[in-house]
Structure 1
Amino acid sequence: MSLPPISRRAVLIGGLSAGALGLAACGAGDAGTGASTGPSGTDAEPTAGGTLRFAVANDPASLTPQGGGSGNDARYVTRQLVDSLLDQDPETGELAPWLAQEWEINEDATEFTFHLREGVTFSDGTPLTAQSIKDNFADVLAQGAQASYAIEHLAGYLDTEVVDEQTAIVRFDVPSAPFLQALTEPIFGPLAASTLALPWEERVSGGVIGTGPFVLDRYTKDTEVVLTRREGYAWPSSLSQNTGEAHLDEVVFQIVPEASVRTGSLSSGQVDVIGGVPPQDQATLEGSGYTIVARGNPGTTFGLTPYNAKPIISDVNVRRALSLALNRTDLRDATLNESYAVSTSPLAATTPGWVDLSEYLEQDVDEAARLLEESGWVPGADGIRERDGERLALVIAWSNNFVANQSALELLQQQAKEVGIEVELWTGDVSERTAKGAAGEFDLTYGNLSRADGDILRTSFAFGDEDPFQVADEDLNALLEEQRGITDVAARNEVLARAQERILEIAFHIPTFELTSVLGTTEDVHGVALGADSRLTSLVDAFLVGGAA
C-alpha cells in the first residue's frame, strides 16, 4: 500500500529576538495531558531553615550533570548544584533568563550570543565568565561518550568566542535552533574550572562545583546525598519566586528503592517528599491530606519503535496494523490511572509543538486485518498469520524501569494476537539488551524519552547510515532537519506538526500512553515543583512551615 507524499509548503522565518525561540506550545495541554499540578503548598509565607528529607528510588550513580547518572533521580540532585544559562516556563514553554540575562540568535540559527548576569560565582568563589562557558563546552566534547547527556546537543559545534567577560558567542556549522532549549537543562549547568580539571571518576563521586543554591556536603552511595545551603547565593532563575539564598538549611536525598517503602516513609513522617509515587498510592495519599505534585512528561510517549529494516517489520502495513490493533485506553488502565494520558501523538501533550493526532491512534481491528491481508499475511491454524510458511511473529524488547511496562505489554501482546500477530516479550539488563539489539535480535523496542522540545523527534527518528537495522524516511528526515533552522515559534511548530503526522503515517513510533512524574509531599512542604521537563526544579523556592523549628 503506497502512502501519499507529504506537502511541502514554504515556511517563513520570523523574528530573531530573545523571544523568537520561546518554544511556546502549539496547543500543549489542551487534550488530556494527564495530571498537572503546581508547586506544593502556595498559601504560606516562606520561612527559613530546616532539613528537607526527599526519598528517591535510585542512587544518582553520577553527581556530574553531563552524563553517567541514573536518569531523573540523578538530575533531581544535580539541579540543586548547578544553574543554567536559560530556564523554560512549564506553563508556556517559553525560554526565560537565568545566568544569561539576554541572548540573540542569527537568522539561520548557527550563532548564539549570550550576555551573562554579573556577579555570579561558583561555590569555590571563582567568577562565572564567558571563558567559563567556552571551557564547559570544550569539556563536553573532550569527555565524549562519558558526557552522554550533553554531547548529543553539540552536533555541529564549532567554537565559542569570548567577546568580553560577560559576552560569549557560540557557533555551529549547522542550524541548531533547539540548542537553546537544551541549555535549560542541568546537563549544561556551568562547572567551575577546578571541577573541569578533575578526572571524570572524581566528578562522578562528588567533585562537582557549580553556581547553584546548594553545595555537596557528602555522598554515601546507595544511602544518601546531603546538600547544604550556599551562603551568598543571589541569582535564581527569573521564574523563581525567591531572589536570594535558599530557604532550607539542608536537603537530604535518601535512596529508597521500593515504592511501597517510600510511601510508608512519607506516611510515617520519616521523610517530607517522595519521588515516583506509584499510581495505586496516589488516591490514598491525597485522601490522607498529603499533596500530590504531578506533571505529564514532555518528549516521546511510551510506545514501540520498530527496527524498520528487519524483514517483517519493514513492511509499513505490518507496522500500521500493529498500531491499529491497540486499545490504548485499556493499555493505560491495566495499571495506571487518569493522571497518565493516553497518547494522542508521538509527542506527549506537554511538549512544545505537540498536535492532537488522535484519529491515527484509534483501534480498528478490521482495518488492521485488511492491511495484513494486503501484504499477504493470512490466518494460520492457530490464528497467527502466515506468509509463505513464515509466522507473523515479532520480538519486543523492554525494560522493567516503570511500574506499568509489564502489564501494558502483556495486554498489548493479547491485543496483537487478536489480529493475528504473535508477540514475544523480552526483558533483561541494559548491557544485555544493548548487545542483543546490536545483533538484530529484536523487531521493536518499547520505551519513551523525555525532553521539553520537539527536536526529540529528530534525535529519535531521523535515522542515518550509522543506525543499525533502521532505514530512513527521506520525507521525515527533511522535515526534522528543516525545523532545526527555524527560529520563529509558530513556523517551527508547523513543521513539527507535519513531522508528527508523518511518523504516524509510516508507524515509525507506535504510541501507547504518556509518562507522568508524580511527587508526594507532607502539608508542611511548600515550593517543591516540577519544571518544563517534568523533573524537579531548583529547590531555592522550597521551604518547610516552621523552618528550623
Structure 2
Amino acid sequence: MIRPLAILAIAVALAGCDGKPEQTAATGTPAQPQTGGVLRVAFDGDPNCIDPQQAGNNTALNVGRQLVDSLTDQDPQSAEILPWLAERWEVSEDSRQFDFHLREGVTFADGSPLDAAAVKANFEAIVALGARAQLAGTYLAGLESVEVTGPSSVRVTFKQPNAQFLQASSTMSLGLFSLDTLKRNAEERCQGALVGSGPFTVKSFEHNRLVRIEARPDYRWPSSIAQHQGRAWLDAIEFHILPESGVRLGSLLSGQIDVNTSVPVQDEAVLQAQGVPSINRPNPGIVFSLTPNVSRAPLDELAVRQALNKAIDRSQFQGVISRYQKPATSVLASSTPYYQDLSSHLAYDPAGAEKLLDDAGWRKGADGWRQRDGKRLGFTLDYWQATTPVLELVQQQLRKIGVELRLNKSTIGQVSLQQTSLDYSLWFFNLTRADPDVLRTVFLSPGRNVNVRAPLPLDRLLLDSAASLDGQKRGALIQQASAELLDLGHVLPLVEMATVTAFRDVVHGLHYEASTRLQFYDTWLAQPGGH
C-alpha cells in the first residue's frame, strides 16, 4: 500500500484545499437521491477527442472520467490513494514494481472481463499510441514490462524508480477500455468508439454541439470513496457545447441547462445575487502559463525570455480574475503537493526587462516598438481558452517595454494542430494533476517538451524528482526544478486557476475528484421526470 510518509507529505501540502463541494445557496435537498433524468451540462468548448487515454484538455477528460474506471482512486481532500478496481497493491522498496490485485466480476460494457490481461493490454496500447497519449504516455514513461501474474493479478515494472505511478493509476488517463476498443484506430476512439467499464457509455458525439452518454444498468463496482453502490443515479448526461459565456449564463438561469462547468468572473456576482448554487476548487498542477518555443528566434534568447517574465505585473490580474483564483507564485499551483512559493523569481521589474532587451540589441524605435536588424520584437499567441482579460493585460504590459503580443482566439482543434506540428511561438495552457510529476510530464526534453528545447541538466532534476522515495528530497528536487524553469524563462506563470461550476437547485451530489474534474456517478436530480 502507499507509504505513510508519502501520505503525510501530500496531506500537509494540500492543507486548506477543500475537496468537498462548497454550496453557496440552500437547495431544499430531498431526503433520498432519486434515479432517472437527463443532466444537461454546458462546456465552453468542444472536447475535440473524448478518449481519456489520448486527451489532455479538461472538457474531454470530464467526459472520459465517466466512461472509465481506474485501478485506484485519490481522495480529493487528503490525496490518499485508495482502492477502486484494485482491491490492494504492493510497491517494491525501490518503487519500480507495482503489483495490483483486482476486484473480481468487473466487466466492460460489452460484457468482456476486466482482468489482468485487460490491464496489460491497455497499458501496452497506451505506450503504442506514442505522442497521441498526451498524459497517459508520460505516466508510463520507462515502462519495462506488464506481466499477468494471475487471472486477477498484474505486475507493472519500470526501468527506474517511479514514485509518481501510484497516483497516476488513479487518473482517467490510465482508465481502462475493452480489448475491442484497443483494436480501433486512434481517430475512431477520439470520436467515441469507446467501451469502458465505467458507469456511463457513449451514445453520440457531434463536434461543437453535443456529447451524450448513457448510464450502464449493470454497473456495480464504483470507487471505495463513492457515495453509493450500483448504477449511476442519472439515466444520461448531455454535454452541450456553448462557447459564449452569456449563452451559458442565460441557459442556466432559464433552466435550459442544469450545470455550467465554466463560470467566468463576470458572471459570479450575477449567480450569487440570483442564489444559484455553485462549487469551486483550486486546480492542482501547472498554473495557467505561457511557455516559449525556444527553437524559434528570438525566443531562443535567454535575455528575451527573462525580459518577458520581468515585464509581467501579476498583481494586476486580481482585478480581472475570479475571487477563487489568484496570481501565480510558481509554476505549480499552491494546492499541489510539494508546492513552494517562488514569487521572488516572478518579481515585476520593468526597468530590468528594458535593460535586458537594450543589452541584447533590441532597441525602441520612434513608434515605441523594439526592433533589431529591421525586425520587430513580437509574437503571436493562438489560444482557445476563455481567459482573454488576463491575456489582454499581459499584452498591455509587454507593450510598455516595446514588445508586441498578437492575440488570436481560435478553436481547440486548430490550436491542438499547431501544437502537435510545433507551429507556435508561445503555448498558453494549464495542466491539472494532483502530483508535482506534472512538471516532468510537460517539460522533460525527451517527453512532451513544450519548449521544444535541447536536453539540459534540468532533465536530471525532473527525472530524479519522479524517482525519489524520500518526501523531503523529492520536495527539494521539485523546488529546484521549478526555480530553474522560471529562471531560464521556460515558463511564464500567470494565474493559479480554480474551477467554478454553477448548477440549478435540482442538481445534487455534484463534486470534483482529486484533479478538479467532475465526477457524475453520485450526481442526481430532484426532479428526474422534468427532463
Q: Give the TM-score band, short-chain normalised.
A: 0.7 to 0.9
| Change beyond 3 A, Cα 1:464–1:142 | closer
| Change beyond 3 A, Cα 1:449–1:190 | same
2:269, 2:346 → 1: CA distance?
Answer: 29
The 10-residue stretch of structure 1 (93-102 or 118-127) with the greater mean CA deviation from structure 2: 118-127
Shift of 1:456: 1.8
Aligned position for 2:442: 460
Matching residue within 263, 274, 283 for 2:260: 274
Find the residue that maps to 1:248 and give its secondary structure.
coil
Q: Deviations over 1:36-60 (max 9, x none)?
A: 8616579654322231222223444
2:236, 2:447 → 1: CA distance?
Answer: 49
| Change beyond 3 A, Cα 1:547–1:45 | farther
| Change beyond 3 A, Cα 1:49–1:397 | same
Aligned position for 2:174: 188
TM-score (norm 1): 0.85
Shift of 1:392: 6.7
Q: Deviations over 1:127-151 (max 9, x none)?
A: 3211111111122234444444422
2:68, 2:289 → 1: CA distance?
Answer: 32
Matching residue within 495, 515, 532 for 2:477: 495
| Change beyond 3 A, Cα 1:337–1:146 | closer
| Letter matched to residue 276 of structure 1 | S
1:172, 1:123 → 2: CA distance?
Answer: 30
1:225, 1:377 → 2: CA distance?
Answer: 49
Pair 1:241-2:231 in alignment:
no
| Letter matched to residue 361 of structure 1 | L
| Letter matched to residue 398 of structure 1 | D
Pair 1:397-2:378 in alignment:
no
| Identity %, equivalent residues | 36
Q: Residues 56 and 135 of structure 2 are in contact (CA less than 8 Å); yes or no, is this contact kept in structure 1?
A: no
Pair 1:178-2:181 in alignment:
no
| Change beyond 3 A, Cα 1:60–1:42 | farther
Find the residue that maps to 2:514 and give its secondary structure.
coil
Gaps spanning 5+ residues in structure 1: where? 1-15
Shift of 1:305: 1.5
Shift of 1:292: 1.4
Aligned position for 1:533: 515
| Letter matched to residue 523 of structure 1 | D
1:465, 1:28 → 2: CA distance?
Answer: 27
What CA RMSD, in Å, does the superposition of the two structures yield over aligned residues?
3.3
1:65, 1:436 → 2: CA distance?
Answer: 21
Q: Deviations over 1:208-263 (max 9, x none)?
A: 22221223444455543333333343322122222333222333333333332222
Q: Residues 442 and 449 of structure 2 are in contact (CA less than 8 Å); yes or no, is this contact kept in structure 1?
A: no
Q: Deviations over 1:141-171 (max 9, x none)?
A: 3444444442232222222111112211011
| Change beyond 3 A, Cα 1:438–1:76 | closer
| Letter matched to residue 385 of structure 2 | F
Aligned position for 1:127: 113
Aligned position for 1:362: 347
Q: Residues 289 and 523 of structure 1 are in contact (CA less than 8 Å); yes or no, is this contact kept in structure 2?
A: no
Shift of 1:345: 0.4
1:220, 1:308 → 2: CA distance?
Answer: 37
Q: Residues 297 and 533 of structure 1 are in contact (CA less than 8 Å); yes or no, is this contact kept in structure 2?
A: yes
Find the residue that maps to 1:196 and give its secondary structure.
helix
Q: Deviations over 1:37-94 (max 9, x none)?
A: 6165796543222312222234444443322x58322222221221111112222333
Find the residue that maps to 2:398 and give its secondary structure.
helix
| Letter matched to residue 458 of structure 2 | L
Aligned position for 1:408: 390
1:65, 1:169 → 2: CA distance?
Answer: 23
Aligned position for 1:208: 194
| Letter matched to residue 78 of structure 1 | G
| Change beyond 3 A, Cα 1:205–1:377 | closer
Matching residue within 322, 331, 338 for 1:337: 322
TM-score (norm 2): 0.87
Q: Residues 384 and 420 of structure 1 are in contact (CA less than 8 Å); yes or no, is this contact kept in structure 2?
A: yes
Find the residue that maps to 1:344 and give its secondary structure.
coil
Aligned position for 2:87: 101
Find the residue that maps to 1:141 and give its secondary structure.
helix
The 10-residue stretch of structure 1 (272-281 or 161-170) with the greater mean CA deviation from structure 2: 272-281
The 10-residue stretch of structure 1 (223-232 or 77-86) with the greater mean CA deviation from structure 2: 223-232
Gaps spanning 5+ residues in structure 2: where? none
Pair 1:65-2:49 in alignment:
no
Q: Deviations over 1:252-304 (max 9, x none)?
A: 33333333222212111222212212221122112212111222222222222
Q: Residues 21 and 177 of structure 1 are in contact (CA less than 8 Å); yes or no, is this contact kept in structure 2?
A: no
Q: Residues 42 and 526 of structure 1 are in contact (CA less than 8 Å); yes or no, is this contact kept in structure 2?
A: no
Q: Deviations over 1:476-528 (max 9, x none)?
A: 22211101111344432232122112222222211111233221111221111
Give runs of aligned pairs for residues 37-436 of structure 1, distance below 5 A: 38=21, 45-51=31-37, 52-67=39-54, 71-219=57-205, 222-333=208-319, 335-373=320-358, 375=360, 379-385=364-370, 389=373, 393-399=377-383, 401-405=384-388, 407-425=389-407
